Amino acid sequence: MVTAVLLTIAGLLLLVAGGELLVRGAVNLANRLGVSALLTGIVIVGFGTSAPELVASLEAVRLGSPGIAWGNVIGSNIANILLILGATAILQPVIVPGEALKRDGGVMLASTLGFFGLALTGTMPRLAGIAGVACLCAYLYASYRLDRRGPSVHDEETQPVERPRRRVRLWAWGRPILFILTGLGLLVGGGNLLVTGAQQLAGMIGLPESVIGVTIVALGTSAPELATSVIAALRKHGDIAFGNIVGSNIYNLLGIGGVIAIAAPNSVPPALGDLELWVLLAATIASGFFATTHTTIHRWEGALLFLGFVAFNLAVFLGA
């Protein structure tokens, strides 16, 4: 029991450290490439903070525990909305850029509906996984092209200004790349320890692997999103905070879910359709509704989301 707990904690710490290094390096590269804060939040930070979920899920599939992988994807998205967006809004109301809400929020809703429909039936064929990854690539390309087209209505203040070209020393590019590579190494090691510990805990406590994945593993792999969004909100960068959560959810569903479906098709545990999938759908719709009202998620709305996260976890453990 002690060994399983220590492995889980060590894995979580490595995931947090790896995610931090990966995000720092990715944001540094994004600044040098001259992209906006919103695109940085969605593409760079959203991808970087989703890396723990990706690594943990792939390790779970490799070790023969697809229930942990699917539970991690669903649980991470629930945690992103109910816990992270809720806590962020409680600390500082999140001002949602209108253009981001229409485009990126719409993609998140469409991805959730598609994932919900397939997972609820217990079928997630390899073709659906390929389609999900392809849709993610198309979304990222479209986001980049739209962002580079010129200043947008939601990000005028954060657009990079034109500066005279200057020679950039090699170390200035090498440092963020080193951060990224080191972060990825820590993520791989942490993901292996976390899944191994979670498997042992599931066997000892007698809980299904999907329950461990949707709670403990999902909460641990969502730690980078929590830290990033809270810091961004406190610094009044609502575009990065919102973009991080939306981008992470899109990555989880289309990218990570797609990869899992390719590696282990039709492996969604039927038990996830009893509660978890419905909570995911309800949380996504609720966050979109709150964001639509004056394009701001207020403190009381954040409190409702946070209370929903507490109630969800209680229901999962009591049901198990």
Q: Decide if pLDDT at 159 tops 60.
A: no
| pLDDT for 154 | 42
Q: Torsions phi, psi of 207, nearest 5?
A: -95, 150
| pLDDT for 163 | 47
Quick: pLDDT tens for 67-92: 888 988 999 899 999 999 998 889 88
| pLDDT for 158 | 43
Which of 242, 175, 199 lies closest to 62 in space, CA to CA? 199
Quick: pLDDT tens for 268-288: 888 888 899 999 999 999 998
Fold of 37-153+208-319: A middle domain of Talin 1 (1.20.1420)
**Which is more confidently placed, 115 or 159?**
115
Burial of 157 (0-12, 13-18, 19+ CB in 10 A): exposed
When pLDDT is averaged across residues 112-116 and rounded to a whole number, the result is 94
Return the HEC string of 55-106. Answer: HHHHHHHHCCCHHHHHHHHHHHHHHHHHHHHHHHHHHCCEECCHHHHHHHHH
**Which is more confidently placed, 148 or 193?**
193
Which of 161, 177, 168 lies closest to 35 in space, CA to CA? 161
Q: Kindly tell me the number of DSSP H helices and DSSP E strands found in the chain.
A: 15, 2
Describe the chain by its helix, strand, coil percentages, rounded to 5: 85, 0, 15
| pLDDT for 294 | 72
* Lowest-confidence segment of 42-56, 84-98, 120-134, 285-299 by average pLDDT: 42-56
Most confident of 62-71, 92-101, 181-190: 62-71
**Average model confidence (pLDDT) across the chain:** 79
Q: Decide if pLDDT at 161 tops 50.
A: no
Under the banding of pLDDT at 50, 70 and 90, the label for residue 305 is very high
- How far, in Å, CA of 14 to CA of 16, rounded? 5
Q: Token pair of 304, please? A: 């409702």
| pLDDT for 169 | 62
Residues paired with residue 296 on neighbouring β-strands, in sequence order: 95
